[in-house]
Structures are given as structure tokens and as C-alpha cells.
């Protein structure tokens, strides 16, 4: 079985310090949280950025500032910028971090109701646009899917040349408006991707660690972090993203699964070494 790639989603666009005081806003806070996750066993840092007051932004200069700060502490880590941004941003605004030519970036494969009047819009033309941009820049997309229909969209756009193989999916499960986080939901998504594809599971809230366990057993990969869940256990706030990663590492070791370092993660995902 392949070694386990752990992704740390250290901040997100919605979670705030009022949810957990350790949620990072500044470049230095992001770098320290990334370092804590990296030291605990994460190979990939999934990155949203904010202004110092916590306002989400897709500004490429802010991404560069934060990425440089992370690389200073973790030179070989894989940084995966989000192109999801925040609800209401334009396509070109969301795509700004791809101008920095990261190794990976996220590609959301469908529209989702996030609750109330919030709709995370990803039209077919948006997905094509993002996919083509990533092909042009040699960026490997992590295909973010919140439901089975989004896998179908990714497979259809692969046939049309907007996405290339081998594909890497991220099953984001337990989000309001998306698929649930039960075993049957995981099995449904897992059985819907191509045999040569890899996948990561990101369970939201209480689904984080049960789904991580399923992915570990199945040979998939795991995402944890403050973007998805701020608790180490019921009612106990995590002190850092590193604590969440360390819990997954303990789970993996108990099940005999080794942890991939960044070099091994690049090999598994087919990434070129960072210049």
C-alpha cells in the first residue's frame, strides 16, 4: 500500500479566530501553523490567505508573501493554493494564485449551496477555464468534489481535454449542501473514480477523523486542518493544525500505514520537483 499523504488545510476562507484563536491570519501565523503541520507529518499545505484582519483575499501578492514565509520554514513542503476563494469572487480573482505557478492548486468541479443565500458557483465554463489554465501552466489540479455529480463533471471534462490524467480527487464530505460523511457516502465516491486516480478525503466537522480512518484503511490519503474542523476531540479545541495532523499520524501507525514525506508525495502524485 502507498504511503499516506497528509494535507493540512491550515485556515480556510470561513473559519475565524472566534471559532478557534489559533486560526492563522497573518503571514507569520500561517507559516508557523504550516510548520507545526509539516513537523507533525503533513506533506501538503492547502492554502487560503487573508489580510491581517482576517478578511479573505485571493490577491496573488498576498499569496506570494504567505508562501514565501512558509517555504522559509518548510523548504520542501508542497503548497496547494485554493482557487475556491470565497463566495462572490470572480473567476479571474480566484485564479490569481495560479500566476505564481504552484505545483498544485484546487479545481472545484461543481456548484454547491453552502447555506442560507450562500451559493458557491462553479459553472461548466468556469471549470473548463480553470482546468485549461492549469494545463497551460503545468499545475496539477486537485479536483474538489462535494458530491457524485462533480466526479461525473470531472470525467466528462477530461474527455474534452480540460483535465488530464492521472487525476487526483479530494472528496470534501459533510459540507452543508454536499454529500454526507457516512461510510456509504465514502464508498459511493470511492467507487466512482478511475482506477488510476488517487484521492484525498476531507471530512468536515465530526466527520474528519472517521473518514480519515476509512481513507487510511482503503489506501487513500487524508486532509485535516482548521478549514474543516477546529476540534481535536468533542468539545476540545485543537491548539494547532499540527495536533490534528499528529492525530492522523497516530491512527495511521496503529493501522500499519507509513507516512509520506514531501518527496514521496511528489512521486505518488506525479509532481515535478519544485525549482
Average pLDDT along the chain:
96
Query: Around Cβ 96, how many Cβ atoms within 10 Å?
Result: 20
15 Cβ contact partners less than 8 Å away, ≥ 6 residues apart: 23, 226, 227, 230
Q: State mean pLDDT over 41-52.
A: 97
Q: State mean pLDDT over 267-271.
A: 96
- Reported as a pLDDT band with limits 50, 70 and 90, residue 275 is low
φ and ψ at residue 134, rounded to 5 degrees: -70, -35
- Reported as a pLDDT band with limits 50, 70 and 90, residue 274 is low
Break the chain into its structural domains and give their ranges: 6-269
CA distance linking residue 5 with residue 16, whole number of Å = 26
Is the per-residue pLDDT at 117 higher than 90?
no
Is the per-residue pLDDT at 118 higher than 90?
no
Least confident span in 42-46, 182-186, 232-236, 268-272:
268-272
Q: State mean pLDDT over 225-242.
A: 97
Is the per-residue pLDDT at 256 higher than 70?
yes
pLDDT at residue 152, rounded to an integer: 98
Given the candidates 3.30.1490.100, 3.30.470.20, 1.10.3720.10, 3.20.20.70, the CATH classification of the domain at 6-269 is 3.20.20.70
pLDDT at residue 85, rounded to an integer: 82
- The predicted-structure confidence for 5-15, as pLDDT tens digits, reads as follows 999 999 998 89
pLDDT at residue 150, rounded to an integer: 98
Contact in structure between 165 and 158 (CB atoms under 8 Å):
yes
CA 92 to chain centre: 20
pLDDT at residue 32, rounded to an integer: 98
pLDDT at residue 1, rounded to an integer: 87
- The predicted-structure confidence for 54-103, as pLDDT tens digits, reads as follows 999 999 999 999 999 999 999 999 999 999 987 788 999 999 999 999 99
Contact in structure between 66 and 47 (CB atoms under 8 Å):
yes
Beta strands in the chain (DSSP E): 6-9, 44-47, 49-50, 56-57, 78-81, 104-108, 112-115, 118-120, 140-145, 168-173, 198-203, 221-224, 231-233, 236-237
The dihedral region occupied by 167, where left means phi > 0, alpha psi between -120 and 50, and beta the remainder, is: beta
226-to-87, 197, 203 alpha-carbon distances in Å: 18, 26, 11
pLDDT at residue 86, rounded to an integer: 77
User: Which residue in this structure is represented by grid cell 456548484?
Assistant: 111
C-alpha cell at 179: 454529500
- The predicted-structure confidence for 142-173, as pLDDT tens digits, reads as follows 999 999 999 999 999 999 999 999 999 999 99
What's the N-to-C CA distance of the chain in angstroms?
29
- Reported as a pLDDT band with limits 50, 70 and 90, residue 272 is confident
Cα dihedral across residues 187, 145, 160, 45: positive or negative: negative
- The predicted-structure confidence for 169-225, as pLDDT tens digits, reads as follows 999 999 999 999 999 999 999 999 999 999 999 999 999 999 999 999 999 999 999
Is the per-residue pLDDT at 273 higher than 80?
no
Amino acid at each position: 500500500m502507498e504511503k499516506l499523504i497528509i494535507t493540512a488545510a491550515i485556515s480556510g476562507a470561513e473559519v475565524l479566530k472566534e471559532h478557534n484563536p489559533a486560526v492563522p491570519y497573518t503571514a507569520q501565523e500561517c507559516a508557523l501553523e504550516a510548520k507545526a503541520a509539516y513537523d507533525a507529518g503533513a506533506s501538503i499545505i492547502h492554502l487560503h490567505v487573508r489580510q491581517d484582519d482576517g478578511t479573505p483575499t485571493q490577491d496573488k501578492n498576498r499569496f506570494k508573501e504567505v508562501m514565501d514565509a512558509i517555504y522559509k520554514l518548510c523548504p520542501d513542503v508542497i503548497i496547494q493554493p485554493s482557487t475556491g476563494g470565497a463566495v462572490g469572487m470572480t473567476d479571474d480573482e480566484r485564479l490569481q494564485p495560479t500566476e505564481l505557478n504552484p505545483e498544485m492548486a484546487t479545481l472545484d468541479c461543481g456548484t454547491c449551496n453552502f447555506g442560507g443565500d450562500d451559493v458557491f458557483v462553479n459553472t461548466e465554463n468556469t471549470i473548463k477555464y480553470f482546468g485549461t489554465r492549469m494545463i497551460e501552466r503545468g499545475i496539477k489540479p486537485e479536483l474538489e468534489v462535494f458530491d457524485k455529480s462533480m466526479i461525473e463533471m470531472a470525467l466528462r471534462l477530461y474527455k474534452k481535454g480540460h483535465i488530464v490524467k492521472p487525476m487526483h480527487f479530494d472528496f470534501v464530505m459533510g459540507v452543508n449542501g454536499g454529500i454526507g460523511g457516512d461510510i456509504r457516502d465514502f464508498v459511493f465516491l470511492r467507487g466512482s473514480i478511475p482506477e488510476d486516480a488517487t484521492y484525498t478525503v476531507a471530512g468536515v466537522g465530526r466527520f474528519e477523523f472517521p473518514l480519515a480512518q476509512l481513507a487510511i484503511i482503503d489506501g487513500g490519503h487524508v486532509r485535516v486542518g482548521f478549514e474543516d474542523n477546529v476540534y481535536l476531540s468533542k468539545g476540545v479545541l485543537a491548539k494547532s493544525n499540527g495536533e490534528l495532523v499528529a492525530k492522523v499520524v497516530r491512527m495511521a501507525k496503529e493501522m500499519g500505514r507509513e507516512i509520506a514525506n514531501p518527496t514521496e508525495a511528489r512521486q505518488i502524485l506525479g509532481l515535478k520537483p519544485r525549482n
